[in-house]
Amino acid sequence: MQTRSDCQLRELSAAECGELLASVNRGQLATSWHALPAIVPVWIRRDGDATTIASMLGREIPLLSGMIVALEAGPLGEGDEQAWAVEVCGTLETTRDNAHVLPQSASLAESVPFHLTPDRLRGWTLTACASDRKLRRSSKEKMNTAGP
């Protein structure tokens, strides 16, 4: 089993976090339900500094105005060289702005949009791992030495 101890995380600036968050439309919202932790898949819309979310589960795990939550988005766990993750911690507030947060295939009757007022915005990107570079270099060398 290969270890990833040669990989490093670089902290992103607030501007980088905002740009990356605006580039995705799905994420995971950490909250609690019946006194237990819950992870809710959500639709995301970032407009300027405003983040609007809506649950993909509809009302199965109810989200309420005033809830303290953490939103996470990005492919950091996928091991890509360009991997990143952005976290927004804050409070949910009801919003009337539901026209653009949900894709056309989602039902507005099932999902209530919320504005996420951030208390903290932070993120990380994964730097290229030495073992990944070595593996790519080895593969490239083998391709160059292989005959037709």
- For the chain, 148 residues long, the average pLDDT of each consecutive 10-residue run is 62 95 94 92 89 88 92 82 90 76 58 89 83 52 56
For residue 54, the number of C-alpha atoms closer than 13 Å in the C-beta half-sphere is: 21
Q: What is the pTM of this model?
A: 0.76
The pLDDT, as a whole number, for residue 105 is: 56
The pLDDT, as a whole number, for residue 128 is: 66
Nearest to 71 by CA among 52, 94, 99, 97: 52
Of how many residues is the chain composed? 148
Residue at token pair 């295939």: 105
67 within 8 A of 55, measured Cβ to Cβ = no
The pLDDT, as a whole number, for residue 21 is: 94
Residue ranges of the domains in the chain? 9-143
C-alpha span between 58 and 91 (Å, rounded) = 19
Q: Was domain 9-143 assigned CATH 2.30.110.10?
A: yes
Dmax of the chain from CA atoms?
65
Q: What is the residue type of 63? A: L
